[in-house]
Amino acid sequence: MSKRNDQDAMSAASATAPETPAAPSAPAVDLSDKTYYIHRELSQLQFNNRVLEQALDERTPLLERLKFLLIFSSNMDEFFEIRVAGLKGQLAYGHEIVGPDGITPKLALAEISDIAHRQIARQYSILNERLLPELDRHGIRIVRRESWNAAQKRWVQRYFRQEVAPMMTPIGLDPTHPFPLLVNKSLNFIVELEGVDAFGRDSGLAILPAPRVLPRIIRLPDDVCEGGENYVLLSSIMHAHAEDLFPGMEVRGCYQFRLTRNADLTIDPEEMDDLARALRGELSSRRFGDAVRLEVADNCPRPLIEYLLKQFGLTEAELYEVNGPVNLTRLFGIVSRSESPQLQYAPFVPAIPKALKKAEDLFQVISKQDVLLMHPYESFAPVVDLVRQAAKDPAVLTIEQTLYRTGANSEIVDALVEAARAGKEVIAVVELRARFDEESNLGLATRLQQAGAVVIYGVVDVKTHAKLMLIQRREGNKLQRYAHLGTGNYHSGNARLYTDYSLLTSEPALCEDVHKLFSQLTGMGKLLKMKKLLHAPFTLKKTLLEMIAREQAHAEAGKPAQMIIKVNALTDAKMIRALYKASGSGVQIDLLVRGTCCLRPGIPGVSQNIRVRSIVGRFLEHSRVYWFANDGDESMYLASADFMERNLDRRVETAFPIGERKLRQRIRKELELYLGDNTTAWQLQSDGSYVHLQPDEGQEPHDVQQQLLEKYCGVGSAPVR
C-alpha cells in the first residue's frame, strides 16, 4: 500500500479521536493483573442481557420484541449446552482452566447460576406482565386452559384424540420401568397418580414425554374464537387430557419440565480415520449428554422437584422454576405465522450495486473493478449468481469453495452440484464441525460427492472458518481467476439477517493467495507465502499484533494514532494486552464488539483510551473490520476472524485487505455511523456492565442500522404502528 499524504485521508483517520498530544512513555503496569480482565462466560451473559433488554424497547415493533425475548431463550439454551457444560466438565475431569481473570470454574459456575436465575426470572416477568398483555390488546392470544370456552374445549378434545393421543407414550415408573432417558431440551411432564392399574402397580408416578413430531403451538380455528389470532400450547392440551392417558387412575398433579444436556461434540483425532463417520456417531449421542440444567413449572411440588434433581444428578443451583412454558423458543411459531405485519419490521428490498444492476456477465464487471457488498442492505444475490454463471459457463474450468454454514436448501450448493455434473472441477472444503449444523453439512457433503465434486473436510483439529470462493476461467490463451471473499457464511437466509461484507475481485495477487490457501487445505506441504492475504493459524495473529504495535510506536513518537476494530467477540489475552499497551501509549482505540468482551476499558494508565461499544438491533452484527490509521497510510482488512483464541490459533481464518481507496473510504464512513449510534449502542464500563446509550437532550437520535437501511434501501427499521 503506497504512502498517502492527502488531507482527506488524514482528516478521516482522526474523525472520532481528539488531537493526540505527544505521549509520555507508557507507564510500567502489570498487565497480568487479573482485575484487568472480564471472565468470558460472565461477559457472554451480559450480551444475553442486552438481547433481553430489546424486548422492553417500545420503539421496536411488538412481535419483534417477542422475537428478542425468544432469541434470549435460544442463546441461554446454547450457553448451558456448551459453555456451562464445558465448565462442569472441567470440574468433573479435574482439568480446571483458569483464564487471565483468575476466576476458577467452580466460582464461575456459582456466579453464572446467580446471574442466570435473575435473568430468566426477569424474562418470564417481561413475557407475562408486558408482552402477552400487549399482544392480547392487538388480538394475538395464547389461550390458557382456564379460559377455554365450551367450543374451544370441544375442539381441543377432538385435536387431542385425533392428533396427540395416538402419538403419546406414557411411562409409568416402577422397578421394571426405570426413569427414562430423556432427549435434550424435550418437553416432558411428571405426573402424580393415585390408584392401582390393571397389573396391580401403584408407584404413583409417571413421565409423559411430549411427542417431538407434534407442533408445540397450535392455531385455534376462527369459528371457535371471537376474532384475532388465537393459539393454544401443546403443553396445555396434554395437561388438560393427561387423565385420558391413565384410564382408571386419578391424576393428582401434572407438571411440565425440561432438561438441558451437554450438546458439545468431542472427537478424538488420534482415534479417528474418517471424520464424517465419527461425526455421525457423535451426533446421536448429543441428544443424551450429561445434564446441566433442569427447568420446571413453578407450581411443581417440592418432593417432585427433589426427585427430578436426584434422577439427573443436579443441585439446587442448576434448578430453574419458571412461571410459564418451559420451552419458550417454540413461541417463534406465533411470529412466523402472524397475520399482523404492522407489528413487525417493515420489509425492505436489498439494493443491487450500480455496477451490477444491468450486468449480464458478472465476470466482465469483476474483471474491471472490485465490487463490495454490505449485507443485508445490499443483496447476496450477486454472490449466488456468480456461482450459477460459473456453473453454466463453458469457459469456467474449476470452482473451489469453503462451506461452513449454508442452510439445508442452499442455492450455492445447487449451483456447485450443477457445475460438477457439467464436468467442471468442483472442490468443496466442507467444515463438518460447524456447531449445530453438522448434520446439514454431512448431507450437503454427500450430495456434492454424489454429483462428482471433490469434498475435503478441512484439517483435523483446525476448523475451516474462512469464507472463500475461487473460480478459474479460460479467457483466450490465459487462465483468469475470480474470487469472492467474505466475513459471513454462504447462507442466503443469514445474509438477510446478519450484517456482513462480501468482496468480488479479480485482483491477481489476492486471487493467487486464495489459490494457495485452497492448495494448503486440500493437499500437504510447507506453508506457502502469501502476498496480501492474512491467514490463521499462521500469519493473522502475528500481523495483527505487529499492526497494533506499529500504531503504538506512532503514538510514542507524538503522532496521531488510532484504530477501529469491529468483531463479534474479544477474548484473546495476547490481543487484549497489546491493546492495553497501545492505549497506555496514547493510541485512541474504538472497539465495536457485539458479544463477549473480556477487555476492561477506562482503567487509568491501562485502557483509558479504549472505548467498547456493542450494537444490538434488528440485524445480527457479524462483520469483522480491522482499521489502523498508520500515520496517514491506513491499513484496512475485512475478515472472517474474531479476536478469540479459537479463531486466531486453532482455525483456518482469513483477513483480506481493501486496496481501493474509494472502498476504504466507504467502509470507514460506515464505521463512523456505528461509532455515532446513540440508540441501539451499549457502552462497556470498566466494571463489566453495559450502559445503553441514549441521545442527549436536543441531540438527534442515530440508529446505525436504520441509517444504513435508508442509505441503501430507501426504508428505515422504525416500527410500523
- Looking at residue 651, its pLDDT comes to 93
More confident position, 675 or 276:
675
Instruction: Report the range of poorest mean pLDDT among 282-291, 543-552, 611-620.
Output: 282-291
Name the one residue in this structure whose C-alpha cell is 392428533. 163
Average pLDDT over residues 486-504: 94
Annotated binding-site members for ATP: 75, 498, 594, 622
Instruction: Give yes or no for residue 721 having a pLDDT over 70.
Output: no
Q: Which three cell numbers stand for residue 630?
A: 498508520
Stretch among 284-293, 605-614, 650-659 having the lowest mean pLDDT? 284-293
Backbone angles phi, psi at 348, to 5 degrees: -145, 160
Q: What is the mean pLDDT of residues 580-597?
A: 97
Distances (CA, A) of 622 to 90, 411, 593: 30, 21, 10
Binding-site entries for Mg(2+): 405, 435
Q: What is the pLDDT of residue 639?
A: 98
Q: Please provide the average confidence, as pLDDT, over all residues in the chain.
A: 89
Q: What confidence score (pLDDT) does residue 9 get?
A: 36
Q: What's the pLDDT at 719? A: 40
Q: Is 535 a catalytic residue?
A: no
Q: Locate 237 and state its grid cell.
A: 392440551
Q: Roughly what angle, to the nearest 10 degrees, separates helices 105-126 and 85-92? A: 150
CA distance 135 to 129: 11
C-alpha torsion angle, residues 492, 494, 496, 498 (rounded to 10)? -140
User: At residue 131, what is the residue type?
Assistant: L
Name the one residue in this structure whose C-alpha cell is 430489546: 54
Confidence of residue 198 (pLDDT cuts 50, 70, 90): low
User: Contact at 8 Å (CB) between 573 and 593?
Assistant: no
pLDDT at 10 over 60: no
Of residues 461 and 423, the one with the higher pLDDT is 423
Distance CA 349, CA 352 (A): 9
pLDDT for the residue 529: 92
Q: Please report the domains of the chain, with CATH numbers, ordered by start residue.
A: 144-343 (3.30.1840.10), 354-527 (3.30.870.10), 535-713 (3.30.870.10)
Q: Is it the case that residue 23 has pLDDT exceeding 50? A: no
CA distance 140 to 131: 10
pLDDT at 338: 86
Pairing of strands 396-403, 425-430: parallel
CA distances from 157 to 165, 169, 620 (A): 10, 18, 42
List binding-site positions.
Answer: 75, 405, 435, 498, 594, 622
Confidence of residue 315 (pLDDT cuts 50, 70, 90): very high
Share of the chain above pLDDT 90, in %: 76
- Tracing cell 468433573 back to the chain, one arrives at 92
**Across 107-121, 162-176, 264-278, 307-321, least confident range:** 264-278
At residue 109's C-alpha, the angle toward residues 106 and 111, to 5°, is: 110
Query: What is the pLDDT, as a whole number, of residue 595?
Result: 96
In terms of C-beta distances under 8 Å and separation of at least 24 residues, what long-range contacts does 351-354 make, across chains too? 351/377, 351/378, 351/379, 351/712, 351/713, 352/378, 352/379, 352/381, 352/382, 353/378, 353/382
Q: What are phi and psi of 402, to 5 degrees?
A: -90, 140
Report the Cα 200 to chain-centroid distance in Å. Answer: 52
| Cis amide leading into 376 (omega within 30) | yes
Q: Which three cell numbers stand for residue 278?
A: 465419527
For the chain, what percent of residues have pLDDT higher than 70? 90
Distance from C-alpha of 220 to C-alpha of 8, rounded to nearest angstrom? 62
Given pLDDT bands bounded at 50, 70 and 90, which one contains residue 201?
Answer: low
The residue among 339, 383, 399 whose CA lies nearest residue 139 is 339
Smallest Cα–Cα separation from 324: which of 258, 376, 391, 383? Answer: 258
Beta bridge partners of 419: none
Q: What is the mean pLDDT of residues 106-117?
A: 97
Question: What 3-state DSSP class applies to 593?
Answer: strand
264 or 7: whose pLDDT is higher? 264
25 grid coordinates:
512513555
More confident residue, 152 or 197: 152
Question: Averaged over 424-433, what is the pLDDT?
Answer: 86
Strands (E) in 476-533, as ranges, are 478-486, 498-505
Distances (CA, A) of 134 to 122, 130, 142, 325, 714: 17, 6, 12, 18, 30
The pLDDT value given to residue 685: 97
Cis peptide before 701 (omega within 30 of 0): no
Q: In this predicted model, which residue has the larger pLDDT, 251 or 457?
A: 251
In the set 39, 375, 465, 535, the catalytic residue is 465
Query: For residue 139, which of 55, 220, 237, 238 has the smallest C-alpha distance?
Result: 220
User: Is the CB of residue 417 less than 8 Å from the CB of residue 448?
Assistant: yes
Q: DSSP 3-state assignment of 193? A: strand
Please state, as a whole number, how many other Cβ atoms lie within 10 Å of the Cβ of residue 719: 19
Please determine, for residue 119, whether its predicted confidence score (pLDDT) is greater than 80: yes
Residue 102: CB atoms within 10 Å: 13
- Examine the pLDDT at 111 and tell me if it is beyond 90: yes
Provide the 8-state DSSP code for 257.
E
370: closest CA among 484, 294, 268, 457? Answer: 484
- Cβ count within 10 A of residue 397: 15
Which residues are bridge partners to 636 per DSSP?
A: 627
Beta strands in 360-493 (DSSP E): 371-375, 396-403, 425-430, 454-456, 463-464, 467-475, 478-486
Does position 194 have pLDDT exceeding 70, yes or no?
A: yes
Residue 665 is placed in which grid cell? 473510504
Residue 403 pairs in a beta bridge with 430
Span of 63-77, 143-157, 285-299, 464-478 with lowest mean pLDDT: 285-299
